[in-house]
Amino acid sequence: HDSGLELRALRYDNRADPASFADQVWGWRTAFDHFAVQVSLPAELGLVAQWLGGSTEWISGARPDGTLFPGWRIVADDFRSSFLLLTRKLGTANRLTLRRDTFDVERLGLESDKGHAWTFAYRFEPMTSRFHGGIEWLRIVSERGIWPMFYGLPREQAEEQVRVQVSYRVGVPGR
């Protein structure tokens, strides 16, 4: 993590027309705003925050040949996500990171999808060794209105994952 402060802002708009069809592909309009900040804190701490929000429009009932099924319509989704990450370097080769994410998608006339996640990670990256690795724990809790109706699942689901990575650099000296 570099020292200092970094601010970022972005506006994206692909200006696609969801009712257009060219080269066997339907248009899919997406536009969003993105804001982020990264700051170095005392005690080898780093803080990163990000917010992203926008919308997308697409056709429900489109066929791959450019025709439409009866009852087709343009679907509009609004989406948002954000995260806050705190990381700390321990010595020259170790890093601990904690991250909190939130996300949601709202569709007019239908139930929204929303959730949050926690991530905890440890990384080991010595500068002189070809070996590096880490372990990461992730827990996602999400709520989706269609799960009971289509899949017979509860509206809210919780998922956990533990990932372990060990790598060896071949053909290049250690960093």
State residue 72's pLDDT score. 84
Per-residue pLDDT of the chain (175 residues), as tens digits, is 455 899 999 999 999 998 888 888 888 899 999 999 999 999 989 999 999 999 999 888 888 888 888 888 888 899 999 999 999 999 889 999 999 999 999 987 677 899 999 999 999 988 777 888 999 999 999 998 888 888 899 999 999 999 999 998 887 665 5
Task: Identify the pLDDT of residue 174.
Answer: 56
Q: In one letter, which amino acid is 83?
A: F
pTM summary value = 0.82
Q: How is residue 141 written in tokens?
A: 């809790």
Q: So what's the pLDDT on residue 84?
A: 98
Phi, psi of 174 (to 5 degrees): -60, 160
What is the C-alpha to C-alpha distance for residues 103 and 113, in angstroms, rounded to an integer? 8
Among candidates 52, 47, 62, which has minimal Cα distance to 9? 52
- pLDDT reported for residue 21: 83
Q: How high is the pLDDT of residue 129?
A: 78
Tell me the three state secondary structure of residue 149: helix
